[in-house]
Structures are given as C-alpha cells and as structure tokens.
Amino acid sequence: MLTNYHVDKGRQNLSIQKWILFVAVILFSIKIIAWYLTHSVAILTDALESIVNVIAGLVGLYSLSIAYKPRDTNHPYGHGKAEFLSAAIEGTLIMLAGVFIIYEAVNQLIHPLQLQQLNAGIILVAVSAIINFIVGLYAVKKGRENNSEALQASGHHLQSDTYSTLAIILGLFLIYFTHIPQLDSIVAIIMSVVIMIIGYRIARKSVAGIMDEADEKILVKVIDLVNNSRLPNWVDIHNLRVIKFGNVLHVDCHMTVPWYLNVREAHIEIDSLRKIIIREFGSSMEFFVHSDDCISSCCPICIKSDCPVRQHPFSRKIYWDMANVIPNKKHDLSTTS
C-alpha cells in the first residue's frame, strides 16, 4: 500500500495542479483580450499555447488523481505511470500548437493586418508572463521535491510559455517603434519553433518513463552512495535497476553476501543498504533486494578481512560503476572496474 508520505505528496501535487489549471484559464482569457485588441498573430501564438495549458492542466489533473490511487490487483506497482501519459499528451499538444501557429503566421506574413492598441496588448501580455513564471517556478520546485513528472511537465510548460511571451513582447516593441507589421509574423514563427522543441523534449522524457528507460543520473547517484557507504559483508551489488512509478522510485538489485550468513544476518545487511539510501533520497524509494551467496571466485575481490572461510587471498577492490552493477552477474577478477 502507499504510505502516508506518498498519499500526502499526492494530495499536494493534486492541489497544485488545480491551481495551475485555474491560472491557465485566467491567462488564456487575458491573452485572448490582448489579441482581440491588437490583432497580433504573435499574441495569438501565446493565446493558443495557453489553450494547450488549459487542456494539459485538465489532463494533468486527471492523471494525478489516478496516479495516487492505492495499488490493486490489476496494478501491483500502483498507478504512477499515469503521470508519464499526462506529460506525453502535453508534449504532443505543444508540438501541434506550434504547427498551427506557423500556419497562421505564414498566412499573415502574406496578408498582413494593421495592428492596433499595441500599448494595451503589451501590458496585458507582460502581466501574464509574470504570473506564468511565478506559478511555473513553484510547480517545477514542488514537482522535483515530490518526484512528480506531471507537475514538473506543467511547470516547465508554464516557464516555456513565459520565455516565449517575453520574446513576443520584445517583438511587439520592435513593431511599435519600426511600424513593420511583418515582424509580428516573423516573431510568431520563431517562437513556434521554440515551442515545438520544448514539446518534443517533454514528450521524449515521458516516453522514456513509460518505457522504463534507465535514469542514468539516479543510477550514478545510487552507485556512488553505496560505494562510499560500503560494508565488509557487501561482496558485490549487481543486477541494479531503478524504475519510476509516479513519485515512487523502485530499486531492484542483487546483493552478494558471505555464504555462511543466516537469513536474519543477510536481512540485516540488506536493511543497512535500505537505510543508507533512504537517508539520502527520502522515503520515496521502495526496495526489492535479493541476497546471493558468495562463491570461491568472489574471494579475490572480497574486502572482508576477517572471513573464516576464505579460499583465495584478497587481490584488489572492485569499484562499482554502471558497467558492473547493471549486469546480472556476480563480481570476480574479470569484472571491469
């Protein structure tokens, strides 16, 4: 079952996502008013991205409400993968919005419209940019703290919206002072390309999560931690995998311990590993550690100096890294270091 910690974090993520949706609706309304006043396709670009924000906010809200449901017989690892699906949809919507914006910008570049009330448009869009940046920064911060992909995706989307809005404001200033209406379409096209790149990155990251792609940063951090905290009875650690389900990281690995340890003693070693990692990562990690018994070929790399059954002298200590902890193979002198 999910712990109180995970449930509380899930409720917090859900509450933040509700506020993101509310802000998205308000900002969309502001940008539509700005577009109506100015007839600027660049501002329309911003407004269309805000429509994506609203849709993505709804999808994110739904996915988070599912992600923190308790485990059941059909979902033994929980429902956390729903967050990745939300991020994938959001990234796809951003890319589609970029395509539509390019179409509108090219059309207006060929048939330019006279822009109006740029002063009011710039003020309204600037206000939306400030609000977007503050909410996006908060969403990313909380998403990282709570290990929520959906919340981070929403926050990054709001931040990207801020950057694109700032560029649009700069373009509007240029139009205001130069009186060249074609600049409006040029700015819109440039920002649509930026938006599409951001959408691709969000979708790419979510697909990696759905496909259980290894997160090298987390793996390296875990490996460095166990290297620095290594105990004498930890002959080796192999078959290491880290899988993310919502805000929970599942760590699977095999730990080789001296063959003469009984079940309770082997469990003590596994528990020591669990406490060390939880101290670093918090309680957002779950462990499935299988204990293996050592064999004679492990003796040359075993650092246990008081082993009563050693068959071969100690030769060298093997430093654990990505190359030797991921394969499902006990370490010996042939193991790379």
Average pLDDT, stretch 56-76?
A: 61
Domains of the chain: 4-210 (1.20.1510.10), 216-325 (3.30.70.1350)
Query: How distant, in Å, are the alpha carbons of 32, 62, 94, 318 from that of 23?
Result: 14, 17, 18, 53
pLDDT over 70 at 147, yes or no: no
pLDDT over 60 at 1, yes or no: no
Confidence of residue 266 (pLDDT cuts 50, 70, 90): very high
β-partners of residue 162 are: none
Tell me how far apart the alpha carbons of residues 63 and 335 are, in angstroms, rounded to a whole number: 43
Handedness of CA 93, 99, 105, 111 (dihedral sign): negative
Strands (E), the chain: 236-245, 248-257, 285-293
pLDDT over 80 at 16, yes or no: no
Confidence of residue 152 (pLDDT cuts 50, 70, 90): confident
Q: Tokens in use for 216?
A: 């090298």
Q: What is the mean pLDDT of the chain?
A: 78
The number of C-alpha atoms within 13 Å of 300 and in the hemisphere containing its C-beta is 8
Q: Is 144 within 8 Å of 152 (Cβ atoms)? A: yes
Q: Which residues contact 39 (CB under 8 A, 6 or more apart)?
A: 113, 114, 115, 116
Average pLDDT, stretch 177-188?
A: 80
Query: Nearest Cα to 10, choosing from 243, 278, 247, 245?
Result: 247
